[in-house]
């Protein structure tokens, strides 16, 4: 049974309008229509708010100054996160205006790395539920929960769903993983203007293998070990069936699934429904953007590269797959393209006949080609051995092994490559394979660097180096916006490649020491550029369900802006009758 509404948010003749049938405290309790002290005297009278707010009428600009000061006074990053979360629950438009105007400063608070701490404490600071909690022990409850969301078939553009098993390098976090879905959607809204009323965070509570959680009396999830195998797959299938029936035009964003499931789920559904895995595809696209920028800076081509990926898991192989697609698009034979990659797992170099996951097999090397290699330990092919024998031009770290890029490894690479592209991508900073300071020291300032975590600029000799952060936020908001703009049926590899090129093309400063990627304060403009490229590619491939006549204008028009809308005070009967929208 659908939940009755007491408000509606529409767009009419290019104007955002809130049609409100709620009155009194019901208005103040709804964060999407609670403008707090910004309500005018007339609005307060008509909405039954007289006496429920202080008399002063404060502009949105003055509200912004006040809440920023309050935010800045919070003593820790986690305290800042909790403050912003409370604001989002109180006045969502003001929250998004604050986040949008301070995106570079606040992104590490509402997203990685701070959100990881919040997720670990979720059951202890829980105060207001956001999104849907779907329990594997009650699959019939999926349809009931979707109806309880109060949203109709055309009212959801984007669903972010997690099963919380592979959260941000901290692993299985059970039901607390819902916070990563909420945080991810906050970035979609702030960076790309996806409307906050048209998104849905979901956690698939399939249990947890985290014994600390299972033994915590405050834990809020189902209290048993993770369900796996056929029962898990059946639950995922039931979810996809129900969510696509309820919201047929929504993009499904899979978030922080463990490596064993991430590739499998993406491959199972990506040709059936519009779905996207940021850990695989988003990471791949932003790293590829940095690679493209790096090879432009050193005046080489993709076909010339020798690429070593230390950490050939879901993210690492996703990067390889997208780079292969680009090489093939430039005319290279697919098998020859794959031969330009050397992937290492926790067992060393991926070898044919060894212990491999399905997605690693296309990149496994034939042991026969290694017979002449010089090895530190006979029979083992570790990172130092690969670098010594391959002479890579690009070294990518997705291993979560701090310090894996040693001085020996980097100096060996730099001895055979004038401008080595080096990417220690593991998060958080404590897990990075190397620091930019060391990389520049060991390469005598020649390294072209992108990292997973933010690093401050580095002075080396007489040159200041701005360190690019390969943050997925440069990619996934724009992909979502492009999909929403053209109502794409699927997200193809070519659409991901278009997104990567759009980010690389946004880098115009090619001076020595310049960042390989755009600055995060440009995020909203970058998201728009990515969206245009993605929508155009979808249209080219026949995947767009909405005509794309003027992509730049259509993307711009699709971007919600966090400004208080006009208010129409209506009766419940008038609300049910609807209002014309454009």
Q: Cite the DSSP H helix spans in 37-91.
A: 41-46, 60-73, 77-90
Residue (of 208, 240, 252) closest to 226 by Cα position: 208
Contact indicator for 68, 98 with CB cutoff of 8 Å: yes
Mean pLDDT of 381-392: 97
- Residue 234 CA: distances (Å) to CA of 173, 224, 261, 292, 577: 22, 18, 13, 40, 40
pLDDT tier at 3 (50, 70, 90 boundaries)? low
Q: Which of 81, 122, 133, 184 is catalytic?
A: 184
> Which of 250, 273, 296 corresponds to the end of one domain?
273
pLDDT tier at 298 (50, 70, 90 boundaries)? confident
> Which of 237, 254, 273 corresponds to the end of one domain?
273
% of the chain exceeding 90 in pLDDT: 86
Mean pLDDT of 40-46: 97
The answer to whether 128 is a known catalytic residue is no
Q: Give the Cα separation of 432 and 473 in Å (integer).
A: 19
What rounded mean pLDDT belongs to the chain? 94
The answer to whether 111 is a known catalytic residue is yes
Q: Which of 81, 96, 111, 269 is catalytic?
A: 111
Q: Are residues 158 and 219 in the same domain?
A: yes
Q: Are residues 306 and 454 in the same domain?
A: yes
- Residue 241 CA: distances (Å) to CA of 134, 143, 166, 234: 14, 10, 24, 10
Q: Are residues 437 and 318 in the same domain?
A: yes
Residue 151: give its domain's CATH number: 3.40.50.10380
Q: Are residues 369 and 415 in the same domain?
A: yes
78-91 pLDDT per residue, tens: 999 999 999 999 99
Contact indicator for 407, 377 with CB cutoff of 8 Å: no
Q: Are residues 269 and 285 in the same domain?
A: no
Q: Are residues 204 and 288 in the same domain?
A: no
Domain range holding 138?
A: 101-273
Q: Are residues 261 and 287 in the same domain?
A: no
pLDDT tier at 259 (50, 70, 90 boundaries)? confident
Residues in the chain: 582
Contact indicator for 507, 293 with CB cutoff of 8 Å: yes
Residue 362: give its domain's CATH number: 3.40.50.720
Q: Taking 80 as the threshold, does the pLDDT of residue 428 lie above it?
A: no
More confident residue, 400 or 71: 71
Q: Are residues 310 and 384 in the same domain?
A: yes
Residues 6 or more apart whose Cβ sits within 8 Å of residue 158: 185, 188, 194, 198, 199, 200, 250, 251, 253, 480, 484
- Residue 276 CA: distances (Å) to CA of 160, 192, 261, 485: 9, 16, 14, 16
Cβ neighbourhood burial of 337 (10 Å; 0-12, 13-18, 19+): buried
How many structural domains comprise the chain? 2
Cite the beta strand spans of 106-260 per DSSP E.
132-135, 158-162, 199-205, 251-255
Q: Is 159 helix (H, G, I), strand (E, B) or coil?
A: strand
pLDDT tier at 400 (50, 70, 90 boundaries)? confident
Q: What are phi and psi of 87, to 5 degrees?
A: -65, -40
% of the chain exceeding 70 in pLDDT: 98
Mean pLDDT of 128-150: 94
Query: Residue 574: inside a domain, yes or no?
Result: no
> Which of 421, 444, 474 corresponds to the end of one domain?
474
Query: Residue 234: inside a domain, yes or no?
Result: yes
Query: Residue 70: inside a domain, yes or no?
Result: no
**DSSP 8-state secondary structure symbol assigned to residue 281:** I
Query: Residue 533: inside a domain, yes or no?
Result: no
Q: Which two structure tokens, joined as six digits, stand for 108?
A: 């590490």
> For position 582, what pLDDT does the model report?
36
Q: Give the Cα separation of 420 and 417 in Å (integer).
A: 6
pLDDT tier at 579 (50, 70, 90 boundaries)? low
More confident residue, 346 or 395: 395
Query: Residue 568: inside a domain, yes or no?
Result: no
> For position 127, what pLDDT does the model report?
79
> For position 454, what pLDDT does the model report?
85
Query: Residue 410: inside a domain, yes or no?
Result: yes
Torsion of CA 310, 311, 315, 321, to 10 degrees: 50
Query: Residue 177: inside a domain, yes or no?
Result: yes
pTM value is 0.93
Q: Is the peptide bond before 578 cis (omega within 30 degrees of 0)?
A: no
Q: Are residues 161 and 262 in the same domain?
A: yes
């Amino acid at each position: 049974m659908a939940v009755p509404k007491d408000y509606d948010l529409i767009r009419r003749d290019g104007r955002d309008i809130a049609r409100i049938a709620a009155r009194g405290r019901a208005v103040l309790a709804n964060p999407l229509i609670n403008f707090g002290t910004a309500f005018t005297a007339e609005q307060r009278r008509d909405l039954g708010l007289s006496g429920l707010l202080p008399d002063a009428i404060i502009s949105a600009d003055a509200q912004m100054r006040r809440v920023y000061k309050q935010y800045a006074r919070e003593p820790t990053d986690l305290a800042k996160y909790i403050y912003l979360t409370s604001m989002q629950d109180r006045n969502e438009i003001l929250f998004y205006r604050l986040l949008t105007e301070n995106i570079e400063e606040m992104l590490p608070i509402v997203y990685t790395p701070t959100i990881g701490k919040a997720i670990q404490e979720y059951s202890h600071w829980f105060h207001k539920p956001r999104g849907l909690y779907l329990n594997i022990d009650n699959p019939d409850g999926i349809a009931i929960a979707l109806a309880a969301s109060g949203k109709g078939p055309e009212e959801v553009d984007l669903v972010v769903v997690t099963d919380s098993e592979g959260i941000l390098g901290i692993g299985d976090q059970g039901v607390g993983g819902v916070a990563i879905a909420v945080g991810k959607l906050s970035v979609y809204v702030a960076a790309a203007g996806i409307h906050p009323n048209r998104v849905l965070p979901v956690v698939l509570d399939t249990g947890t293998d985290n014994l600390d959680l299972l033994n915590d009396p405050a834990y809020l999830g189902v209290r048993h070990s993770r369900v796996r195998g056929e029962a898990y797959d059946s639950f995922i299938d039931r979810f996809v069936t129900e969510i696509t029936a309820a919201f047929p035009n929504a993009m499904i964003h899979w978030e922080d699934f463990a490596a064993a499931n991430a590739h499998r789920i993406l491959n199972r559904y990506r040709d059936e429904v519009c779905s996207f895995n940021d850990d695989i595809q988003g990471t791949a696209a932003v790293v590829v953007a940095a690679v493209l920028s790096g090879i432009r800076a050193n005046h080489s081509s993709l076909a010339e590269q020798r690429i070593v990926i230390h950490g050939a898991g879901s993210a690492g192989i996703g990067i390889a797959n997208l780079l292969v697609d680009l090489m093939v698009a430039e005319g290279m034979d697919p098998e020859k393209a794959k031969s330009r990659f050397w992937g290492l797992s926790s067992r060393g170099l991926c070898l044919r006949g060894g212990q491999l996951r399905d997605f690693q097999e296309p990149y496994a090397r034939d042991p026969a080609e290694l017979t002449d290699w010089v090895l530190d330990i006979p029979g083992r092919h570790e990172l130092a051995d690969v670098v010594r024998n391959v002479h890579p031009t690009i070294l990518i770290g997705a291993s979560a092994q701090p310090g894996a890029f040693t001085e020996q490894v980097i100096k060996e690479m730099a001895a055979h490559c004038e401008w080595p592209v080096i990417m220690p991508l593991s998060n958080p900073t404590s897990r990075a394979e190397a620091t930019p300071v060391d990389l520049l020291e060991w390469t005598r300032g020649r390294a072209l660097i992108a990292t997973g975590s933010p690093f401050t600029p580095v002075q080396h000799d007489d040159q200041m180096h701005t360190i690019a952060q390969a943050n997925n936020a440069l990619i996934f908001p724009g992909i979502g916006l492009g999909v929403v703009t053209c109502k794409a049926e699927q997200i193809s590899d070519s659409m991901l490649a278009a997104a990567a090129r759009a980010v690389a093309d946004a880098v115009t400063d090619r001076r020595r020491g310049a960042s390989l990627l755009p600055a995060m304060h440009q995020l909203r403009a970058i998201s728009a550029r990515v969206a245009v490229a993605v929508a155009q590619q979808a249209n080219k491939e026949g995947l767009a369900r909405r005509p794309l006549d003027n992509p730049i204008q259509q993307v711009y028009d699709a971007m919600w802006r966090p400004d208080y809308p006009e208010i129409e005070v209506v009766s419940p009967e008038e609300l049910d009758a609807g209002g014309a929208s454009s």
